[in-house]
Structure 1
Amino acid sequence: MGIYFKEEYAKIYELNGDGKVEKFQYEGGDGRVEYLFLKRDIELSEGRYYDITTPYGYGGPLFFPESSEKLTKLISNFREEFESYCKKNKIISEFIRFHPILRNHRFMERYVKTINAGATVYIDLSSEEEILLNMKRTCRKSIKRSMEKGFKAEMDNSNQAWDKFIDLYYMTMNKNNAENYYYFPREYFENMRALLRERALIFKTTYKDKVVSAILVLAGEDGIHGHLHATDPEYYRESPNNILIYTVALWGLKNGYKTFHLGGGYGGAEDTLFKFKSSFNKNGALEFYIGEKIHDHKVYNNLTKLHEKKRPEKKGENLEFFPLYRR
C-alpha cells in the first residue's frame, strides 16, 4: 500500500483543517475495497451537508478482488454500496485524485467523470544502470558538474534539517507566487513527522556547508514520493536539485524501493517543472487522472448559486473547478 493510502497520512490533513478522515470499506464474496477520503462540512439553512475529497497527493479506492474474473463485479457492488452511503450521509459531491502509478482511475470510469489532468514522472529503481540510462544527457551532465563544483547531497532527518527545509519551502512558495493553501503552517510539518515517523524523510543539497535545496520524501512499501521541494533562489542557476534527486533515487534503490515518483508540473501542466522532472526519465511520463461525481444535483446547484450570490466575481470564472461552490 502506498503512503497516500494510509490513515496516518490523511490525519495530517484533518489536523490541517481540510476535513475529517473517513474510510469506506466494502467486503463480499468478490473481494474487498478500501476508500480513504476527507469529509468536509457544508452548513446550509436546511441542514448540514458534506462533500468528500482525496487528501493532498494521490489516492482513490483500492481494489482487492478474489480473482481477476471477479474484479468487475467487485467494482459494481462497491459502487452500489458507496452510492447508498453518500445518499444516507448527505454527501453532495466527490472529488478524487487517482494514483498515477496504480492507475486506479481505470476501475472508476463507469461511475465517476474521469479527466486527464496532465502527466507526472517516475524514476524506475530497477538498478543504478537503469536510473542513468533513462536520464537525459543534460541531466547526467548537470549531476557531474555539480559534483565537480563541490555540491553534495544526502539524507538528513535532524531537527535542524527539517527547520531549514521549511524555511526554504516558504522561500520557494514566495518565488512561485503560490496560493495561500500551499503555505502549510509549521504545525503541518510537525504533524507529519509525528504521524509518519521514519516514512517522512528530508534530503538536502549543500554547497560550502550551506543548504541550497531540499526535498521531503515520503516512503511507502514499494515506492517513494517526492512530496514537497524547496530551493534557495540564489542557487537555481547551479541546478542543485539534479544531484539531490539522483541521490534520493540511489537511496531508494539501496533500500529496496521499486519506483521514485516525482509528481508533475504546476497544476498538471507540462511546464518547466515538468520538463525538469522528465529529464530524470525520458520514458517515465504517467498520465494523472482526477474524478468528479455529483451525488445530489439539486443541492449542488443551489449551493453553487448561493456561492455565486455571495461572491459575484466568481460567476463565470474557473468553470472547470470542482466542486464549483468551493472556487
Structure 2
Amino acid sequence: MLELKFFPISVEEDIWRYKSLLSQIDPYNPYSRYELIDLESSRDNKSLNYFLLTSKGLPIVLMPFYLEKIHIENEPTAYFDVTTPWGYMGPIVKPENISILESFWKKADEWYRSNNVISEFVRFSFNGNQMGYSGTIAHTLSNIRGRLLSTEELWGGFKRSVRKNYNTAIRNQLVYRIYHKNIPVEKIEDFYSIWKGTMDRLEAAPSYYHSLDYFSNYICNNEDCCALAIVENPDGVAISTELLLFNEDTMFSFLGGTDAKYFASRPNDLLKIESMKWAREQGLKYYMLGGGLSDGDTLYQYKKKFFPEEPEVIFYTGRKIVNPEVYGEISLLSGFGYSEPFIQNDLSNRFFPKYRSQKVSL
C-alpha cells in the first residue's frame, strides 16, 4: 500500500523529521542536506516542503521542493509552482526502489492538481532518478566526471596544458591544503572571501550569492560530506579555494574561486589535481567537475582537459505543465505568447517555467 504525504519544513520538529527520514533512505547524499536546501526558503512567497512516499508505513521516496505562489504584477493569484532545490536532486530513493518512481509521480501529480500547482521544474541527480517521470525530461548539460585512478594514470590522462599549469604552480611555490572535519572558522572565511570576490568579478546575479552564515552552517553541520581545499601563495595567503562535497564514492566540485591576481601562477590546476589525490586516498572513486554554463563553452572545455577520454554524464531536468489552460493564461498575463505550440516549445527552453525565466537558475 503506497501512500504519499506532504510535509512543510518550517520549525525545528520539521527539520528533525526530514533529517531522520533522509538518514533512512540516503544518508550519503550531500546535496539533500537540510542546511543546503534551506537556501531559498526565506524568500517571499516560497516555502520549503517535501513529499514522502511510504510502503506499509516504511519510507521509500523523499523529495524536498519549494512551493511558490504565483504573482501577476505583484498581485497574488490562487496558483503555485514547484521547483526542486539547486544541485543534483530530484526524488531521493534507494537504487533497488527506482522502479517505484512512476507510482510516486502519479501520486505527486494528483496532489498538484488538488492544490493549484500548475507547473513543476525538477533537477535530477545522476543515479537514474529521472526514470518514470511523468513530465518532459530535458538533456540540460553535459557534465565532466572522471575516475580517480592512480597518480601515474591520472597524470598521463591530463591534457598537456594541465600538466604544464600544475608544474607552473609548483615552480611558484604554491602550497595545497585540505581541511576535512573540525574546519577552522578562519578557513571558511578565507573560502568565502575568495568565492565572493570571484562572484563580484563575474558580475553574478544577486540570486547566485549566499551568505557566510549559509556556508558556515552547512560545513559545520555536515562534516562527513564536505571539505575545503585551499591553495596558498608562498606567504601563506589563500589565493584559490573550493568547497568539495562527497557521497560514498564521488567527490563533487561545488563552489569556489581564485584571486585574479594569481591566475598566472595556475593555482586552480594544482588545487584540482591535489584534491583528486586526496579523494583517492579516502577511498572515493570519481571526481565530478560538473559542466559549463552551456555545453562546449570555455568553462566546459577547461574542465574537460582533466578527463579528456572519460565519457560525459548528462544532467537532466524535468519540466511539467500540470494545468495547461492556467499555465497559458499566466504566461500571457506575464507578457509571453500563449498557444499550444508555444507551450510545447516552453518545455524545451533552458529556463522553465518561462514566466519565471529571470528567476530560475540551473
Aligned pairs for 1:176-255 (under 5 A) are 176-208=202-234, 209-255=236-282
* Alpha-carbon distance between aligned partners in 1 of 2:221 and 2:335, rounded to the nearest angstrom: 38
Between Structure 1 and Structure 2, how many residues are aligned?
Answer: 312
Other-structure match for 2:36: 9
* 1:171 maps to amino acid: G
| Cα displacement (A) at 1:194 | 4.2
Distance 1:49 1:8 in 2: 28
Measured after TM superposition, the shift of residue 232 of structure 1 is 0.6
Specify which structure has the higher proportion of helix.
1
- 1:18 deviation in Å? 9.1
- Measured against aligned partners, the alpha-carbon deviations of 1:37-76 in whole angstroms (never above 9, x if no partner) come to 2222335778543222121111112344657xxx55x233
Specify which of 142, 150, 155 is matched with residue 119 of structure 1. 142
TM-score by length of 2: 0.77
In the aligned structure 1, how far is the partner of 2:349 from the partner of 2:124? 21
Identical-residue share of aligned pairs (%): 26
Please give the alpha-carbon distance, in whole angstroms, between the structure 2 residues aligned to 1:66 and 1:174. Answer: 44
Q: In the alignment, is residue 35 of structure 1 matched against residue 60 of structure 2? A: no
User: Map of 1:284-303 to 2, 5 A cutoff?
Assistant: 284=310, 285-303=312-330
Structure 2 counterpart of 1:134? 157
- 8 Å contact kept, 1:95–1:292: yes
For residue 155 of structure 1, give the secondary structure of its aligned residue in structure 2.
strand
**Aligned CA-pair RMSD:** 2.9
| Equivalence for 1:81 | 107
Matching of residue 102 in structure 1 with residue 127 in structure 2: yes
* Cα distance in 2 between the residues matched to 1:15 and 1:307: 24
Choose which of 247, 257, 260 in structure 1 pairs with 2:287.
260
> Post-superposition shift, 1:282?
1.1
Distance 2:45 2:277 in 1: 34
List per-residue Cα deviations over 1:117-149 (Å, max 9, x = no partner).
221112312443443343223212321231132
Structure 1: segments with no counterpart, 5+ residues:
310-316
Please say which of residues 38-47 and 147-156 is displaced more in the overlay: 38-47
SS of corresponding position for 2:315: strand
Instruction: Give unpaired runs (5+ residues) of structure 2.
Output: 1-25, 337-345, 358-362
Mean Cα displacement is larger for which, 7-16 or 74-83? 7-16
Equivalent pair of 1:134/1:282 in contact (CA under 8 Å)? yes
| Alignment CA distance shift 1:129-1:116 (3 Å) | same
TM-score (norm 1): 0.84
